[in-house]
Amino acid sequence: MSSDDFPSSVAHLIQYDHPLDSYLWLGIGGPARYFAEPTSRKELIDLVSAAYQKGIQVRILGGGSNLLVRESGFDGLVISLTAAELGKLSVEGDELTAGAGAKLSHAVTHAVGAGLSGLESLLGVPGTVGGAVVCNASAGGHDIGSVIQAIEVLAVDGTTEWITAEQAQFSHRRSGLRGRLVLAVRFKLKATDITTLTKRMQKMWIVRNAKIPQGRWQVVQPFVDPDGATVQRLIADIGLAGITEGGAFLSPEQPSLLTVNPKATSDDCLKLIARIREQVMLQTGIDLQTNLQIW
């Protein structure tokens, strides 16, 4: 590896063999061969274009809340969208536009502060707007895709375009955006009395916060609820609550949550996920789909 892998315009942004564990909620995983934190939209586009020209794979790192990285790391370029310019929030009428790097919680509170409803059910859902859109984050019976008007996506060759929510092909905890790089999202919301909306949001936060275990930065939700059932009920009913694999285990109280201890490895997590999927399939015929991105 050398600075020749990238042109001089972005070479100064590249870090090599950069550890990723501190960026991930599970706190485990290997390094990225290349890592960059662009400070502007132009730098982001230039990085993606340069990687494409060199045949280097690119991954976008959001909040790290639904991501599992193997100990071997990622042999490509990981781009973190932590710069303020990549997470701007703006309101015009009943529309909220958010940069992909904005924290989802910030987008929710910004909308509520502007008297716009539609996102408040997602309060407490971790991660960034971009990540939430790609996985069609859902909470309280509402998914983020239902209030999206348009999405700006970046192609690997550096070109950008706005696509509609229909083109994004949203379904339950899924979208057709996996593998595409989201730059910004435009939400179509509903004008609502701010006081009423704020009280509603506060109530939701109290209820949701009470359900989150301590040490939640080491907890992820590994599976998507299947149609007509919940992962928590499925796992509890077949006796898998508290199941352990090395340093990874399912919460005995909330078996839809995967928790790790300091000795856990990515292999522990992957083996546990595989065991659970196999047992659920054998005993119920349901093929659980993973909620995690795995690098």
Q: What is the set of domains in the chain, with CATH numbers?
A: 3-84 (3.30.43.10), 88-210 (3.30.465.10), 216-294 (3.90.78.10)
Q: What is the C-alpha separation between 95 and 135, in angstroms, rounded? A: 21
Q: What are the b/e assignments for 262-292, b being 16+ CB within 10 Å?
A: eebbbebbbebbeebbebbeeeeeeebebbb
Q: Two tokens at 219?
A: 């907890």
What's the pLDDT score for residue 156? 85
Q: Which residue has the tokens 């375009």?
A: 161
Closest CA to 89 of 187, 6, 234: 187
From the candidates 59, 173, 178, 200, which is the catalytic residue?
173
Cα angle at 104 between 123 and 260, to 5 degrees? 80
Each of the 295 residues of the chain gets a pLDDT tens digit; together they read 455 679 888 999 999 999 999 999 899 999 999 999 999 999 999 999 999 999 999 999 988 888 999 999 999 999 999 999 999 999 999 999 999 999 999 999 999 999 999 999 898 888 999 999 998 988 877 899 999 999 999 988 889 999 999 999 998 778 988 778 999 999 999 999 999 898 888 887 776 666 555 544 478 889 988 888 899 999 999 999 999 999 999 989 889 999 999 899 999 999 999 999 999 999 999 999 998 889 9
CA distances in angstroms from 218 to 10, 76, 114, 172, 259, listed in the order given: 33, 25, 33, 25, 6
Tokens encoding 200: 């509603």
Q: What is the C-alpha to C-alpha distance for residues 203 and 247, in angstroms, rounded to an integer?
A: 35
What is the rounded CA–CA span in Å between residue 175 and residue 56? 24
Q: What is the pLDDT of residue 203?
A: 80
Q: Are 170 and 94 in contact (CB under 8 A)?
A: no
Let me know if 173 is a catalytic residue: yes
Buried b (16+ CB within 10 A) or exposed e, 53-68: eeebebbbbbbbbbbb
Residue 214, pLDDT score: 53
Other CB atoms within 10 Å distance of the CB of residue 28 = 24
pLDDT at 54 (0 to 100):
92
Q: In this predicted structure, what is the pLDDT of residue 246?
A: 96
